Amino acid sequence: MAYNKPIPTPSSLTQPFFDGAKEGKLMLPRCQDCNRVHWYPRHICPFCHSDSIGWIEGSGEGRVHTFAVQYRAFGGWGQEAPFVTAYIDLNEGDRMLTVLRGVDANDPGSIRIGSRVRVEFEQASEDISIAFWRVVEE
Ligand SMILES: [Zn+2]
């Protein structure tokens, strides 16, 4: 089935992320002065205001920080509702918003904050792969 949800257009700021995603790698921006990872990509470090930003390959692992069940959505996402969105605490630091996979949106009581998650990528177009996170067993 063709990918039927919005597809991001990379900018010079986000291109390294999408280059990595295409190869199944989670690329994360990291300040070269304070060494902290931040998400989303920015020209200036949100922690120390340095403009010296590099990229690292992340572990692709993290934990569920919090989540919400989405019962209504537009476009292609409407066909997937209900689904679960979550903030992921990245192992490298900071948080990433995602659609969480491997959980039952119809049984939100079964979803656990702190659950281990691993990133996966879904090819949306020839050049764009989208990062999603999936709950993995402890
Ligand atoms: Zn910094």
Q: How far is the CA of 65 from the centre of ligand 1 (A)?
A: 23
Q: Provide the residues around ligand 1 (an ion) whose CB is within 5 A.
A: 31, 33-34, 45, 47-48, 50
Q: What percent of the chain has pLDDT over 90?
A: 96
What is the distance of C-alpha 19 from the center of its chain? 15
Q: How far is the CA of 50 from the centre of ligand 1 (A)?
A: 5
pLDDT at 2: 82
The average confidence (pLDDT) of the chain is 96
Q: Tell which residue, 93, 73, 95, has the closest CA to residue 82.
A: 73
- DSSP secondary structure string for all residues of 117-136: EEEEEEE-SSS-EEEEEEE-
Output the CA–CA distances (angstroms, integers) from residue 81 to 20, 122, 130, in the order listed: 28, 18, 18
Check whether 137 has a pLDDT greater than 90. Answer: no
Average pLDDT value for residue range 62-90: 96
Interacting residues of 2 by C-beta distance below 8 A, sequence separation 6+: none
* pTM check: above 0.85: yes
Q: What is the pLDDT of residues 37-48, one digit of tens each?
A: 999 999 999 999
Q: How far is the CA of 44 from the centre of ligand 1 (A)?
A: 8
Q: Which helix (H) or strand (E) holds 62?
A: strand 61-70
Q: What is the pLDDT of residues 5-42, one digit of tens each?
A: 999 999 999 999 999 999 999 999 999 999 999 999 99
Interacting residues of 87 by C-beta distance below 8 A, sequence separation 6+: 64, 65, 66, 67, 95, 96, 97, 98
pLDDT grade for 138, boundaries at 50, 70 and 90: low
